[in-house]
C-alpha cells in the first residue's frame, strides 16, 4: 500500500489525535485571501477535517478532494450540514476538474505527498488569475522542552521502530513554487505549545505513517515502550509547535 493511502486505515485515531492548526494561522490566511461568500476554495486531502471548519465558516464555496474512502465518509458526517460544503472521493493527481477554477487552493500537510512536478502545475492551472496557493504544516519539537525524556524515547525507537515501509517524502519542496510560475512567495510562522499525557502521545504516534506499518511483535513493544517512558516522566510530554504557512500567488 502507498504510504499516502495508509492514513485512511485509521480514521478514528487520525481524527482524535492529529493536532489542529492555531487560530492565528487561519486569521492570516482568511484575511490574505479575503475569504467570504462568493469565493471558491479547494482543499487538497482534508483527512478528517483538521483544517476545514474555519474555512467553511467564512461562507465561501468550499470544495475538497479526498483520496481515502473512510476519510471521505468522516468528512461528510461532520460537515455535510454546511450548505457550502462539497467533497469528492478521488485522487487529485488523476481527477478531471473540467473548467472549474478556484480563488484559493490549500493543503494542510497533504500536497507534500504529490511530486511537485505534478502538484504545482496542476494547482497553478486550477487557480484563477490572482488566486492563492496556501500550504501549511506543523513542525513539532519535543527534544528542547524534554531533553531527558527525549533521550529515553530514542532508545525505544532504536530498539523497536522497524517499519515495513520506510517513510520517504519524495520529490517535493514547498519553496520551489516560484519555479512553476507562482509569484510573491512568502512564509509565516506561528508558535504554540502542547502538553500530552502518555496515552495521548502514543495515540499521536499511532497516526504516523511509518509507525502504522511496524510489524508485530515490534509494534506492541514499541507503543508500550513509549507509553511506559512518558509515564515515568510525570506522565507528561511537551511539544513546541511551529505552524508554517506558505503563500504564493498565480499572476494576474
190, 130 in Cβ contact below 8 A? no
Q: Which tens digit of pLDDT belongs to each residue from 82-120?
A: 999 999 999 999 999 999 999 999 999 999 999 999 999
- Least confident segment among 44-48, 92-96, 112-116, 239-243: 112-116
Residue 59 phi/psi, 5-degree rounding, is 85, 5
Task: Answer whether residue 40 shows pLDDT above 90.
Answer: yes
Task: Answer whether residue 247 shows pLDDT above 90.
Answer: yes
CATH architecture assigned to 3-140+167-191+241-249: 3-Layer(aba) Sandwich (3.40)
Q: Which tens digit of pLDDT belongs to each residue from 174-212?
A: 999 999 999 999 999 999 999 999 999 999 999 998 899
Output the pLDDT for position 2: 74
Output the pLDDT for position 52: 98
Angle ∠(74,215,149) on CA atoms, nearest 5 = 85
Report residue 164's pLDDT band, with 50, 70 and 90 as the boundaries: confident
Q: For the CA atoms of the chain, what is the radius of gyration?
A: 19
Q: Which tens digit of pLDDT belongs to each residue from 50-60?
A: 999 999 999 99
Q: List the one residue out of 170, 229, 160 whose CA is nearest residue 201.
A: 229
Helices (H), ranges, the chain:
3-6, 11-17, 23-33, 53-56, 69-79, 116-126, 147-160, 198-205, 209-212, 218-231
Output the pLDDT for position 169: 63
Output the pLDDT for position 187: 98
Q: Round the average pLDDT of the chain to a whole number and report it.
A: 95
Task: Answer whether residue 22 shows pLDDT above 90.
Answer: yes
DSSP string of 95-137?
---TT--EEEEEEES-GGGS-HHHHHHHHHHHEEEEEEEEEEE
Residue 118 phi/psi, 5-degree rounding, is -105, -45
Pairing, β 61-66 against β 85-89: parallel
Q: List the one residue out of 30, 18, 82, 77 whose CA is nearest residue 56.
A: 82
Report residue 170's pLDDT band, with 50, 70 and 90 as the boundaries: low
Task: Answer whether residue 3 shows pLDDT above 80.
Answer: no
Residue found by looking up cell 511537485 in the block: 116
Determine the Cα–Cα distance for residues 239 and 145; give it in Å rounded to an integer: 7
Task: Answer whether residue 171 shows pLDDT above 80.
Answer: no
The residue ranking higher by pLDDT, 1 or 175, is 175
| Grid coordinates of 172 | 517535493
Q: Which tens digit of pLDDT belongs to each residue from 124-135?
A: 999 999 999 999
Determine the Cα–Cα distance for residues 102 and 150; give it in Å rounded to an integer: 43
Report residue 4's pLDDT band, with 50, 70 and 90 as the boundaries: confident
Amino acid at each position: 500500500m502507498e504510504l499516502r493511502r495508509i492514513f485512511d486505515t485509521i480514521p478514528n485515531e487520525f481524527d482524535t489525535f492529529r493536532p489542529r492548526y492555531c487560530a492565528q494561522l487561519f486569521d492570516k490566511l482568511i484575511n490574505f485571501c479575503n475569504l467570504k461568500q462568493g469565493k471558491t476554495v479547494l482543499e487538497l486531502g482534508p483527512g478528517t477535517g483538521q483544517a476545514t471548519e474555519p474555512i467553511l465558516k467564512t461562507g465561501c464555496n468550499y470544495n475538497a478532494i479526498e483520496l481515502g474512502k473512510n476519510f471521505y465518509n468522516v468528512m461528510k458526517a461532520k460537515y455535510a450540514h454546511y450548505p457550502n460544503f462539497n467533497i469528492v472521493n478521488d485522487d487529485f493527481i488523476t481527477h478531471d476538474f473540467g473548467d472549474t477554477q478556484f480563488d484559493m487552493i490549500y493543503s494542510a500537510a497533504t500536497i507534500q505527498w504529490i511530486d511537485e512536478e505534478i502538484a504545482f502545475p496542476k494547482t497553478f492551472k486550477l487557480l484563477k488569475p490572482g488566486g492563492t496557493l496556501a500550504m501549511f504544516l506543523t513542525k513539532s519539537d519535543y527534544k528542547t522542552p524534554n531533553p531527558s525524556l527525549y533521550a529515553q524515547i530514542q532508545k525505544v525507537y532504536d530498539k523497536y521502530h522497524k517499519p515495513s515501509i520506510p517513510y520517504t517524502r519524495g520529490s517535493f519542496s514547498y519553496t520551489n513554487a516560484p519555479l512553476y510560475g507562482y509569484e510573491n512567495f512568502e512564509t509565516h510562522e506561528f508558535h504554540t505549545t502542547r502538553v500530552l499525557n502518555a496515552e495521548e502521545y502514543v495515540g499521536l504516534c499511532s497516526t504516523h505513517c511509518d509507525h502504522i506499518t511496524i510489524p508485530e511483535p515490534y509494534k506492541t513493544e514499541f507503543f508500550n515502550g513509549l507509553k511506559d517512558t512518558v509515564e515515568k516522566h510525570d506522565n507528561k510530554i511537551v511539544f513546541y509547535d511551529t505552524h508554517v504557512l506558505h503563500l504564493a500567488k498565480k499572476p494576474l
